[in-house]
Structure 1
Amino acid sequence: MRRRLALLVSAAMVLVLVAFLVPLALLLRAAAEDRAVGAAKTQAQALGVLVGTADPRSLRLSVEQANVDDAHPVTVFLPDGSAVGAAVAPTPAVRLAAQGGSFTVAHPGGREIVVAVQGLPGGTAVVRSFVPERDLRRGVSRSWLVLAVVGAGLLLLGLAVADRLAVAVVRPIRDLAAVSEGLSAGDLERRARPGDGPPEVRAVATALNRLAARIRDLLRQEREAAADLSHRMRTPMTALRLDAEGLADPADAARMLAHVAALDRALTAVIEDARRERDAPSCDAAAVVAERVAFWAVLAEDQARPVRAALDPGPLPVAASAPDLAAAVDALLGNVFAHTDEGVGLSVTLRAVPGGAELVVADEGPGIDPAASARGTSGGGSTGLGLDIARRTAESTGGRMSIAGARVTLELLTDR
């Protein structure tokens, strides 16, 4: 935008300078021509006075002196047909002037000035002077050069002023872009400075600040709603714990109570995660994945599912919180248990890659339709949120999720 404003101002200034300097240059050339022609006319008229008053010898000396001192050759054609001064044959202009009249004739090489001297005893004498082209253009080139320098200086000055004005317009817009980038990165406390820039830019800055405040309020309400919803689940969970304690088989009761305790920890994590302001989350992917694989391995053993885990040793830092990554792993492993038959094996692979880590969950089932990764879409009667949770976790780190048959890959980056 800064360059475009500079180009716009340059084009406008060039038009203005051309409209001003070109007529001025033509005026200077015309003034130089008028000055040279006027000087030649004055000289011819002065000699015309001598033709009628001086004797032939004095006239000859005056004409020769004029031709020595001036660059304009002067010739006096007397009524008797003789000529004094520069040797020039009578031209059509001289013959016409001999009939009575003074005028100027333009030639390719200059201007011819003829002055008729009437009232002489023998007839009409004619004083002829010729101004060459170089005299008509004397000083014009230098004047044009001065005009060109002045025009270039004005153009450079205009460009400098236009650049300063463009900076004054562009800087607030860049600040708005930086604030927008900060808001998109999750920094909801970023605000623009409405006092900078033109009125339109200030209006946009004010609107952006209001939008940021509104987004912050909506997110806070959403967190509180999620926390309230999770808290409401405590009542049915308490009833489930009481039912588990009332089981006759101590082993079954212990297993059910362990599951209820895990659910209670998950709800507590959801409430805490919903209420805290997220700021540059990070966790050790190796520790989180190992803990969740160990949790699901117990259920896999009950269902006679072979579990193969190949996890690189940590730490493997990724730009996701531990609860979010744990929820993503639970979603992927939960899909295996929910949508494959008992006894179907699964594998979990976590390896370090440049810039982060790669998590692969695969099973020996029929595979996943990639269309099922859309939020709310499911082919197995579930809510369809599992794969979307995993996808959003990967994308929150700057990575992505890919599905190939029964193989789901999460690319988790260290820096978003």
Structure 2
Amino acid sequence: MTRRLLLSYLSLILLVLLCLEVPFGYVYARGEMSRFAGTGQQGAVMLAEVLEEKVEEKADADVPRVAAGFARRTGSHVIVTDRVGRVLTDSRNTVATGTDLSAEPDIATALRNRSTTGTRQDAVLGGETFVATMPGSSGTTVRCVVRVTYPLGGLTEKTRDAWLVLAAVGIGVLAAVTLIAFGLARWITRPVRALERATTQLADGTLEDPPATDLGPPELRRLATSFTHTAARLQHLLHAQQAFASEASHQLKTPLTSLRLRLENFEPYLDPRAQGSLDEAVSEVERLNRMVQGLLALARLENSATTPEPADLDTVVADRAAIWTAFAAENLVDIGVSGPSVGLVWAIPGALEQIIDNLLSNALRISPPGSVITLAKVAAGEDPRASAHVALHVIDQGPGMSESERQRAFDRFWRATDAYHDGTGLGLPIVQQLTRAGGGDVTLDTAPGGGLDATVRLKPADPHRPPSARRPRSATRARHGARPPARTG
């Protein structure tokens, strides 16, 4: 912003200087030329009058002396002809005496008792010259013609010097304005830079350096005051929400546990016909407990910030597959791992374990006996859909999802119509939140041959270069108990 303000100031000043100095320079140059031409013409007229008298008095011998003296004093070139256009004298001896010049336009015009002036290139004087051709006449009788050629070199140098002075003045003004404008732009943008730093800090969760409210123009001061007030309010709300997320789990855990124990204590005293209702009530309490834990986990994910770190995806996949194999064996389902070693990926601490646990839990619940759940790793650049990301596919052989169901699968509390009643609808939203916190993403597709392909795309990690991900969030534990939960949308 400082640069743009500085450029705007300089552009305006440069425009003003051009509008002032260029016309002034042209006016000055034309004025000097006009004065030079007037002086030269007046000198030529006076010389023509003197020489006309010499010719009239038959003192032709004095003509060369007078012409040479004038040429020497003015630095000009003088040619004098008689009344028919024959050369009487040439101050520089470039034209022989007696040469007929009556055919030349300016001489012919002067012989008709009319004077001419103008500029032209002259080989004798070298460069551009001003030429004044005057008739030496008495009344209508022309006795001689005088051509005086003045060099314009001095005038050109004077005009060039004037342009140089104007340019130097303009550069000086621009330099002075640059210093003033830079200081002014820095003064104006200082509150904006402070607001930018404060906004970055607030986006990371804590405003440690609030912008000063007494710097810069009044409008920016008011903006800084409003921002500080808004930031304080937001921080208060965030802290209150974080406090709720940390305290609610402890406050809700005890009554839910107590409720479950009380329901289980009813079992010896219930009619056998009510046993089914008791089991359903206990199951609903368990589902409520998992739902509360899931909501609290999402709240903590959204309210805290943690920087992604390199994590070994190969090790995590092998570890989680080994742990879940025991659960899968109970349902006669096998878990397989395929694909090459993919190395390190960016993820917030503990996120990979939770992502794989939730996806395996969902896949295991709907996998038929005798089927296989595959954890397929794809290196960066090998999967066209994953672009430059490392991909992890969790593929089951269950009933799959329709297109409309896959579009809604990451909505909170949504569950497929055929899902078991004890699902919470929070598993996939947690997976999506954890994946995006590390700069990746997750999608659901139909697996070849049926079933569901949950694809997690993660950025390959360079330990020496931090990821350019969106603001990361902490990986608060989001598992819903040791047993695989019901399939959630």
Q: Scaled by the length of structure 2, what TM-score is found?
A: 0.59
How far apart in 1 are the matches of 2:63 and 2:339? 121
Amino acid at match of 1:374: F
The Cα shift of 1:388 comes to 1.9
| Structure 1 equivalent of residue 373 of structure 2 | 346
CA–CA separation in structure 2 for the residues paired with 1:151 and 1:81: 47
Relative to structure 1, the CA distance from residue 225 to residue 308 in structure 2 (aligned partners, 3 Å threshold; closer, same or farther) is same
The superposition leaves residues 341-392 of structure 1 with CA deviations (integer Å, 9 ceiling, x where unpaired) of 5665434467997999754422221224431333234323555432221111
The answer to whether the 8 A contact 1:318-1:357 is kept is no
1:274 aligned residue: 300
- 2:356 alignment counterpart: 329
Given the alignment, which residue of 60, 65, 69 partners 1:66?
69
Question: Given residue 245 of structure 2, which amino acid in structure 1 is its aligned partner?
Answer: A
Q: Does 1:407 align with 2:444?
A: no
Query: Aligned partner of 1:379: which letter?
Result: A
Residue-by-residue CA offset, 1:122-145 (whole Å, 9 max, x unaligned): x8666754343x63x333432443
Change in Cα spacing, 1:215 to 1:313, as seen in structure 2 (3 Å) is farther
Residues 24-63 of structure 1: pairs in structure 2 closer than 5 A: 24-42=25-43, 44-45=45-46, 48=49, 56-57=58-59, 59-60=62-63, 62-63=65-66
Does residue 366 of the first structure (1) align with residue 406 of the second (2)?
Answer: no
* Residue pair 1:48, 1:127 contacting (<8 A) in 2 also: no
For 2:113, what is the secondary structure of its paired residue?
A: helix
- How big is the shift at 1:209? 4.5
Match of 1:130 in 2: 147
**1:74 deviation in Å?**
5.5
| CA–CA distance in structure 1, aligned partners of residues 24 and 180 of structure 2 | 31
Mapped partners of 1:61, 1:317: distance in 2: 102
- Summarize the alignment of residues 123-162 of structure 1 with structure 2, pairs less than 5 Å apart: 128-132=145-149, 135=151, 137-150=152-165, 153=168, 161-162=177-178
Distance 2:262 2:379 in 1: 44
Q: Distance in 2 between matches of 1:294 and 1:342?
A: 19
Change (3 A) 1:139 1:378: farther
The one-letter code sitting in structure 1 at the alignment partner of 2:457 is E
> Residue 396 of structure 1 is aligned with which of 437, 443, 458?
437
Could you say if the C-alpha distance between residues 388 and 9 of structure 1 is closer, same or farther in structure 2, counting changes exceeding 3 Å? same
Matched, 1:235 2:235: no
Confirm or deny: 8 A CA contact 2:392 2:456 kept in the other structure: yes
Task: Please give the residue correspondences for 1:371-390 in structure 2 after superposition, counting only pairs within 5 Å.
Answer: 371-376=407-412, 377-380=414-417, 384-390=425-431
Could you tell me how far 1:205 is from its partner in structure 2?
5.2
Contact 1:349 1:359 in 2 (8 A): yes
Tell me if structure 1 keeps the 8 A contact 2:332–2:370: yes
Does the CA contact (< 8 Å) of 1:63 and 1:75 recur in 2?
Answer: no
The C-alpha deviation readout for 1:159-192, integer Å capped at 9, x for no partner, is 6555984673677766655655555455654655
Q: Secondary structure at the match of 1:96?
A: coil
Pairwise CA distance, 1:33: 4.4
3-state SS of the aligned residue for 2:432?
helix
The 1:208–1:94 alpha-carbon spacing in structure 2 relative to 1, beyond 3 Å, is farther
Q: 1:320 aligns with which of 310, 327, 348?
A: 348
Q: State how far apart, in whole Å, the 2-side matches of 1:74 and 1:240 are.
A: 129
Q: How far apart are residue 222 of structure 1 and its match?
A: 2.5
Any idea what the Cα deviations from partners look like across 1:104-160, whole Å, max 9, x if unmatched? 5334644435376759xxx8666754343x63x333432443355445555655665
Deviation at 1:200, TM superposition (A): 5.6
Contact 2:306 2:348 in 1 (8 A): no
Structure 2: distance between partners of 1:37 and 1:72: 17
**Alignment deviations for residues 274-326 of structure 1 (CA, whole Å, 9 cap, x no partner):** 3985342659666876776666555444433333467999996753232x555
The answer to whether the Cα contact below 8 Å between 2:207 and 2:231 also exists between their aligned partners in 1 is: yes
d(CA) in 2 for partners of 1:238, 1:297: 33
Structure 1 residues 39 and 318: alpha-carbon distance in aligned structure 2, compared to 1, 3 A threshold: closer
> Is the Cα contact below 8 Å between 1:183 and 1:190 reproduced in 2?
no
1:225 aligned to 2:225? no
Structure 2 equivalent of residue 100 of structure 1: none
Q: Which residue of 1 aligns with 2:7?
A: 6
Identify the residue that residue 109 of structure 2 maps to in structure 1.
92
The letter of the residue matching 1:237 is T
TM-score, normalised via structure 1 length? 0.67
Partner Cα separation in structure 2 for residue 62 and residue 313 of structure 1: 108
Tell me, in whole angstroms, the C-alpha distance in 2 between the residues paired with 1:328 and 1:81.
Answer: 110
CA contact (8 A) 2:345 2:458 kept: no
| Contact 2:17 2:170 survives alignment (8 Å) | no
Shift of 1:401: 1.2
Q: Secondary structure at the match of 1:73?
A: strand
C-alpha contact (below 8 Å) 1:63/1:85 kept by paired residues: no
> CA offset at residue 68 of structure 1?
5.0
SS of 1:35's equivalent in the other structure is helix
Separation in structure 2 between the aligned mates of residue 16 and residue 37 of structure 1, nearest angstrom? 31
Q: Could you tell me how far 1:60 is from its partner in structure 2? A: 3.1
Deviates more, 1:356-365 or 1:394-403: 356-365
Q: Distance in 1 between the 2:429 and 2:362 partners? A: 12
Q: How far apart, CA to CA, are the structure 1 residues paired with 2:258 and 2:360? A: 26
Instruction: Give the conservation status (yes or no) of the 8 Å contact 2:213–2:224.
Output: yes
Match of 1:253 in 2: none
User: How many residues are matched?
Assistant: 391
CA distance in 1, matches of 2:25, 2:457: 71
Amino acid at match of 2:260: L
For the residue of structure 1 that corresponds to 2:147, the secondary structure is strand
Kept in 2, the 8 Å contact 1:348–1:362? The answer is: yes
User: What is the CA distance between 1:398 and its match in structure 2?
Assistant: 0.8
Deviating more after overlay: 305-314 vs 375-384: 305-314
Partner SS state of residue 106, structure 1: strand
**Structure 2: which amino acid aligns with 1:6?**
L
Q: Residue 396 of structure 1: CA displacement?
A: 0.4
Note if 1:105 corresponds to 2:138: no
Where structure 2 has 5 or more consecutive residues not aligned to the other structure, the ranges are: 91-96, 121-129, 269-281, 382-387, 447-451, 462-466, 470-489
Deviation larger for 56-65 or 360-369: 56-65
